[in-house]
Amino acid sequence: MAIEIALITGMSGSGKSVALRAYEDAGYYCVDNLPPELLLSFVALEHAHHGNRLAIAMDVRSRTSLPMVPEKLRELRAQGCTVHSIFLDADTETLVRRFSETRRRHPLTDRMTPQEPRGLVQVIELERELLADLRESARVVDTSTIRAAHLQSYLKSLMAKPPNPLSLVFQSFAFKRGIPLDADYVFDVRMLPNPHYEPELRDLTGKDAPVAAFLSAHGEVARMEADITRFLTEWLDVLVENHRSYVTVAIGCTGGQHRSVYLAERLSQRFGSRWPTVTRHRELEAQNV
């Protein structure tokens, strides 16, 4: 069965509907809130009627049957399907704010047992527990600080990458705004020379040539790049052997504008010749909204 399946899961309020629209725009046949019990039969049926690309969203409303999802995905892969699992996440504070702004009830609220807490924060934390296994085996995307348009663009960039046992995301960020929830490895580059203190560079970014020239002129920046390169070169093949499909490498500096952006771009170029890579700049994306 030659078919490509995108399974979209994640926290309520994290952007699953936005993600599903991105896949629909890319030509996938999409379905929302599919019960896990119907996954195999649905794939077989829709493959016959709607082609070889399906996007399926599942969420905590199917809480009692979620544990069966990993086994059903293994069955689909054994049948020759290519399955990409995307898990959308956001920090609790962001999720609470989104529910407050939209005045929507959390979908898990009406499915709570009498013994379970019903406060929104407690419900969100329970949802994290129920979805932990799905998160563990998926590409995690932190939507805490990105808007719908950027999420759609990011997902479309992932779709454009050719099939590969492992794909990489290099993400710059600012420590003052917190570590990304989707980071597998975090490298702190705040000890490197900071272009922020150079008046002519302050308003530029690590993608601009004058900033790149400034940073490349400092030996410690080159050493940091070399050290991260050595680490990843040594361990990425091991991750593939252990069936890891997605790795997000987060590079953090103080403001997420110069040093981390420069190194994320450099590392993406270095590893792009072997692995499919995507580059994200969290703080720059947050500014362009």
Same domain, 263 and 150: no
Task: Choose the final residue of a domain: 106, 137, 159.
Answer: 159
- In terms of DSSP bridges, do strands 82-89 and 139-142 run parallel, antiparallel, or are they unpaired? parallel
Cβ atoms of residues 151 and 143 within 8 Å: yes
Give yes or no: residues 131 and 228 share one domain.
no
**Residue after which a domain boundary falls, among 159, 177, 196:** 159
Tens digits of per-residue pLDDT, 103-160? Answer: 888 888 776 666 666 688 988 998 999 899 899 889 999 999 888 888 998 888 888 7
Read off the pLDDT of residues 11-64 as tens digits, 9 standing for 90 and up.
Answer: 999 999 999 999 999 889 999 999 999 999 999 887 777 678 899 999 888 888
Same domain for 144 and 8, yes or no, is yes
Residues 155 and 173 in one domain: no
> Would you state the pLDDT for residue 159?
83
pLDDT of residue 158: 82
Clarify whether residues 39 and 134 are in a common domain.
Answer: yes
58 with 144, same domain: the answer is yes
pLDDT digits (tens, 9 = 90+) for 199-212: 999 999 999 999 99
Domain residues for the domain of 260 are: 167-287
| Share above pLDDT 90 across residues of the chain, in percent, rounded to a whole number | 62
- Beta bridge pairs of residue 31: 56
Answer yes or no: do 144 and 188 share one domain: no
Q: What is the pLDDT of residue 112?
A: 66
209-216 vs 259-271: helix axis angle to the nearest 10? 90
Judge if 93 and 187 occupy the same domain: no
pLDDT score for 165: 77
Mean pLDDT, the chain, rounded, equals: 90
141 and 13 belong to one structural domain = yes
285 band by pLDDT with thresholds 50, 70 and 90: confident
230 and 100: one domain? no
Please compute, for residue 247, the number of CA atoms within 13 A of its CA located in the half-sphere on the CB side: 24
Give burial (CB, 10 Å; 0-12/13-18/19+) of 221.
buried
Q: Are residues 10 and 150 in the same domain?
A: yes
Residues 9, 141 within the same domain? yes
Please state the domain count of the chain. Answer: 2
In this structure, the chain runs to a length of: 289
